[in-house]
Amino acid sequence: MGNRQHTNRNMRFGDVSFSVASHTAWAPGIDTTAAWLEWAHDRKNTFAASEPALKQMPPMLRRRASPSGKMALQAAYQCLPEQADVPIIFASRHGECARSVELLLELAKHAPLSPTSFSLSVHNANAGLLSIARGDRGNNIAIAAGPSTAEHALIEACGLLADGASQVLLVMSDSPPPEAFSAYQDCAEQAYAWAWLLQAADGDDQRERFSLSWSAAEADDSAHKVSAPPGGLDILRFFLRRDAELARVAGGRRWRWSRHA
């Protein structure tokens, strides 16, 4: 697996490579492989109002998960292998900010805060719920990196593979932030979650090999594309549609996702 950094006239470059052992995705109204393929080819674009049943998780823990958290946990359960203690990265630009806003509104009214809501408002809440439910003691990480959250999470996952992990589960999920943040919207937010079980790209492996490379971008116009889908869905469409390449600018960098034979 490649993992290189270069510096040239203050421009930073790098690349990583990986393969995907298994994958899954869940969004309101799009919860089957066939439906996701229709969506990827622009034949299904309606996201309905629903949430996953999350039957794999014990009811007491399931009730604590937010609608956004249930999507992420559903994707994780569907993609996880039987063995425990696989390193997991939960990536989400907005995380549990809906809970945080509710707590702040209660605080402004001098109302008592719910200890449960407070404990579940942190960015790694879903990682905690999953580790308790499965009895996992493996490494888990929560990442938020603005519009390039998926890319930074993928780089972190490849770092874990380079350090010796045989597989790493990457879960990318998001939901539209609360109305309080509507003035800062920079894309057409939608609720979704997807998971990839990653492993190092091996020349002897029959699976497809992917790479992600990046360089500094001279300009970032992502803030002006409020009608565009979030980056996580762009990346999922690239993956499902079996495109050869996806190039996008986000977070001050030019990202290039590539599929190799």
Where do the structural domains in the chain lie, given as residue ranges? 3-260
- Quote the Cα angle for 47-24-223, to 5°: 55
pLDDT at 46: 66
- Amino acid sitting at position 196: W
pTM of the model: 0.87
Which portions of the chain are predicted below pLDDT 70? 1-12, 45-47, 203-205, 219-224, 226-227
- Cα 4 to Cα 18, 204, 208, 218, 246: the distances in Å are 14, 22, 21, 21, 20
pLDDT at 244: 96
Distance (Å, whole) CA 208 – CA 210:
7
For the beta carbon of residue 10, count every other beta carbon within 10 angstroms.
6
**Helix H or strand E segment including 143:** strand 140-143
For the beta carbon of residue 155, count every other beta carbon within 10 angstroms.
18
CATH topology for the 3-260 domain: Peroxisomal Thiolase; Chain A, domain 1 (3.40.47)
Q: Are 201 and 118 in contact (CB under 8 A)?
A: no
pLDDT at 3: 47
Going by C-alpha positions, the residue among 83, 174, 65 that lies closest to residue 127 is 65
What tens digit of pLDDT does each residue of 112-138 get? 888 778 777 788 899 999 999 999 888
Length of the chain: 261
Q: Are 110 and 76 in contact (CB under 8 A)?
A: no
pLDDT at 257: 97
3-state secondary structure of 212: strand
pLDDT at 108: 87
String of b and e for 204-241 (b: at least 16 CB within 10 Å)? eeeeebbbbbbbebeeeebeeeeeebbbbbbbbbbbbe
pLDDT at 4: 44
- Compute the radius of gyration of the chain from its Cα atoms: 18
